[in-house]
Chains A and B, each alone.
Chain A
Amino acid sequence: GAGVSQSPRYKVTKRGQDVALRCDPISGHVSLYWYRQALGQGPEFLTYFNYEAQQDKSGLPNDRFSAERPEGSISTLTIQRTEQRDSAMYRCASSPGLLEQYFGPGTRLTVT
C-alpha cells in the first residue's frame, strides 16, 4: 500500500514568506507526527495529532509554527514569516496508534 507522502519535497522561500507543508498519512492511521531534522542530527519532535485533535504541541519552536489536521487525515504544518534558522528537513510520520511510526520522505525547506 501507499506510504506516507509529503509535499512539496523541496521548498525554497525568501525570508519573511509563509510556507505550508503537507502530509498525507497512511490510510487509517490514527496518529500523525511532525518532526524537524537538521543535517547530521536525529529528528526532533514538533507536534502530534490523534485523529483531528492536536495532542501535544510542546515541540513547536515559537508561535510562527502551527499545524492542523481538520478531518483526521491530511495535515498541514504552517510556518509564518520564515527565518533562515527554519531551514531544515521537515518530516511527517504516521502510526496506527500502537507502536512504530512510519516516516514520509520529508520536505527540505531552505529559507534564503
Chain B
Amino acid sequence: AQKITQTQPGMFVQEKEAVTLDCTYDTSDPSYGLFWYKQPSSGEMIFLIYQGSYDQQNATEGRYSLNFQKARKSANLVISASQLGDSAMYFCAMREGQAGTALIFGKGTTLSVSS
C-alpha cells in the first residue's frame, strides 16, 4: 500500500485565489511527521511546512497552512493568495517514528498559477 498518496497530478488556480493540495498517508506508528516540499522548475527542493503527529494545532508558515485531520489521515496543504511564483511541483512526505529517519514522498502535484 502507498504510504503517501497525492491524488491530484495537476491543479490550476488563478492569482490571488487559495488552493488546497491533497495528501493522505498510511502509518501504524503513533509518532510521525508530515512535510511539504516545493520543487520549482529549477529542480531545487524547498521545505515549506511541518506537522508533528502530536501537534494539537495546524501548522502555519506565512501563506502556507497544513490542514491536519488525524482521524482521516490527511495532511492537505493550503496556499492562500496564490502567486505566479507558486507554480511548481509540490511533494507531501512522511517520517515514521523518531526524528532522524528517512522521508517517504508522494508522487507530487503540479500546481499552475495563472494571471
Contact = CB atoms under 8 A, between A and B. Distances in A.
Contact of A45 (B37, B43, B100, B102): B102
Nearest to A102: B47
A45 B101 CA distance: 10
Nearest to B99: A98
B102 A48 contact: yes
Contacts of B102: 33, 45, 48, 56, 59
A95 interface: yes
B97 to A, nearest CB: 11
Nearest to B108: A42
Nearest to B37: A103
Interface residues on A, range: 20 to 34
Interface of B: 4, 33, 35, 37, 43-45, 47, 50, 91, 93, 99-108
Given A31-B100, A95-B99, 8 more contacts: A30-B100, A40-B107, A42-B4, A42-B108, A50-B100, A55-B100, A99-B50, A105-B44
Interface of A: 30-31, 33, 35, 40-45, 48, 50, 55-56, 59, 89, 91, 93, 95, 97-103, 105-106
